[in-house]
Structure 1
């Protein structure tokens, strides 16, 4: 009974840290000049068109699975490196890493890198709504990895990677490859939609 209460308490603390991190992330992004919402004037739960002005502007899109996988990975890393640390601390650190990535991803240097090295030729960065939600999606992935068996988490990550590669010719793995070491053959294949 005490263990369950302790677990709930750490969950509440961790979610409080995530809320604070997202608040700071949103403030910094606004100071960076990011737009609150899609300039299309519509807020949607899902943007299914990759090559549209609404991509990376809405609550979720084809890159949402990547952020959920971030949560899986951050949970695994925290488990390996900080096994004795409370879950709330591990979740808070995962939130800091994700928010840091979101800030970097929406900086001019990374936006330009996406435009030049990947299939995202018209990428303008995320809206604040989308970026904040990316951190929420990571949090949900982290919490899922916390509760699900390891095999299920790994299977879900692989399924998401395969599905997004098949449907939109992009996924977390390809995104990382193309940002770090662009391969022309991948860029040509991605542009073939």
Structure 2
């Protein structure tokens, strides 16, 4: 996709996006989040969702959720800036900073005691202790990758990739973005029991 019909950032909005990400890292460090896994090393992939390494490394089974965030934020920005025309003819350039801001806000909120305790009590992540700063930074990058995919790929392909990501994560670890949202907002005992039966809770 190209031209006014797509949320193509320019140099200025890329710099703003990087600045938002940098401020987010500073905030997380100020909150006392560990820079990297307390195990003392960094892994590209960590496949266990209920041990001390969960959400501490660069990628894990929740990475598809963050990629899907980027796809959703792209759709939201397109609806705002292109379809509705909010902000004028050049506003579509700000789709990426908006997406980074939304993801950054979630990363900060996700690492507050309130949300950490909520995750531990109602989701499959009973051992969740929050993200390392490395993991949060990686999540911002994965979200941006999802935004880029939505920018470059046809809508049908983007939707198909999102569905595949949800199905694969749901099958392998019995958890994904959909289950996380449901269990955080309105926990369903049947889902909790199904996840427990699979050994993830």
Shared fold (TM-score greater than 0.5)? yes
List alignment gaps of at least 5 residues for structure 1: none
- Structure 1 segments of 4 or more deviating over 6 A? none
Using the size of structure 2 for normalisation, the TM-score is: 0.89
CA separation of 1:59 and 1:87: change in aligned 2, threshold 3 A: farther
Q: Residues 167-182 of structure 1 correspond to what in structure 2 (within 5 A)?
A: 167-182=172-187
Instruction: Work out which of the residue numbers 147, 152, 157 in structure 1 matches 2:152.
Output: 147
Counterpart position of 1:30: 29
Counterpart position of 1:77: 76
Query: Deviation digits for residues 60-110 of structure 1, max 9, x if unmatched?
Result: 110000000000000001111211454431110111000000000000000
Q: Partners of 1:149 and 1:28 in 2: how far apart?
A: 36
Counterpart position of 2:61: 62
Task: Tell me how many residue pairs correspond in the alignment.
Answer: 188
Using the size of structure 1 for normalisation, the TM-score is: 0.93
Contact 1:58 1:129 in 2 (8 A): yes
Single out whichever of 82-91 and 38-47 deviates more from structure 2. Answer: 82-91
Q: Say yes or no: does 1:127 pair with 2:132.
A: yes
Contact 2:45 2:60 in 1 (8 A): yes
Considering only aligned residues, what root-mean-square deviation do their CA atoms show, in Å?
A: 1.6
Counterpart position of 2:13: 14
Contact 1:14 1:87 in 2 (8 A): no
Contact 2:71 2:158 in 1 (8 A): yes
Shift of 1:188: 1.3
Q: Say yes or no: does 1:165 pair with 2:170.
A: yes
Shift of 1:48: 1.1
Counterpart position of 1:40: 39
SS class of match (2:36):
coil
